[in-house]
Chains A and B, each alone.
Chain A
Amino acid sequence: KQEVTQIPAALSVPEGENLVLNCSFTDSAIYNLQWFRQDPGKGLTSLLLIQSSQREQTSGRLNASLDKSSGRSTLYIAASQPGDSATYLCAVSFLTGGSYIPTFGRGTSLIVHP
């Protein structure tokens, strides 16, 4: 059974700090990995998608890396802002029964205080 683990479960930082969120997975035969943001009681917003053949993706202050051999991905957020406060979820797509199915971690709850 594929498992996705996110560490830490919660994080509280002052505004302006650079921070790293971690995602680990048990099966290196992934199809892709996607990072999402979720605000309380809301749906998920896609942040970055990394194909299995890629090492990293960047969008603005966000950078996501992928190391399949070690089963790890990191999401780097530069110069954090209070508006970054949300839960960040990692989803890894594995081949299951002929289809690529995403498995989500439990997320990292981030609070950026002014």
Chain B
Amino acid sequence: ETGVTQSPTHLIKTRGQQVTLRCSSQSGHNTVSWYQQALGQGPQFIFQYYREEENGRGNFPPRFSGLQFPNYSSELNVNALELDDSALYLCASSFGEKLFFGSGTQLSVL
């Protein structure tokens, strides 16, 4: 058990729609990061939040946005969904340098 929970576990959306994915991490884990993992690939870094401020971003367009809340929960929002957005989305919280991952949200865009 990593103490990181993600919801929902599975989601089906249509191209052009918007989606919000949620993550809850352990108390005291001030940093949260989000990743996109396509089938057969390693996770790709989307962005990272520290104490509710974005402090790192990967090569993803602005339609990928996020929020981190004081209660150690966070959200990933994706607007104008495209077919290539279909992937497993992973949330990770950090304690020291170690990453603790949730089980992910499998997003399918039709």
**Contacting pair A97 B56 (CB below 8 A):** yes
Q: Is the interface of A mostly helix, strand, loop or mixed?
A: strand
Mark interface residues in B38-68 (1 if CB within 8 Å of A CB, else 0): 0011111100100000011110000000000
- Does B32 touch A at the CB level, under 8 Å? no
Contacting residues, chain A, for B4 (C-beta < 8 A): 43
Q: Is the CB of A99 within 8 A of B55?
A: yes
Q: In the complex, are the beta carbons of A99 and B101 less than 8 A apart?
A: no
**Which chain A residues border B48 with CB–CB below 8 Å?**
99, 101
Min CB gap B56→A, angstroms: 4
In the bound complex, what is the Cα–Cα distance between A107 and B43 (angstroms)? Answer: 10
Given contacts A41-B88, A103-B45, contact A98 B106 (CB under 8 A): no
Cα A32 to Cα B97 in complex, Å, equals 8
For chain A, the bracket of interface size reads: 20 to 34
Q: A101-B48, A101-B56 are in contact. Are A107 and B42 (CB under 8 A)?
A: yes
| Given A89-B42, A98-B55, A42 and B2 contact (CB-CB distance below 8 Å) | no
For the complex with contacts A32-B97, A46-B99, A101-B56, 5 further pairs of A-B residues with Cβ separation under 8 Å are A45-B2, A97-B57, A99-B55, A101-B48, A104-B35
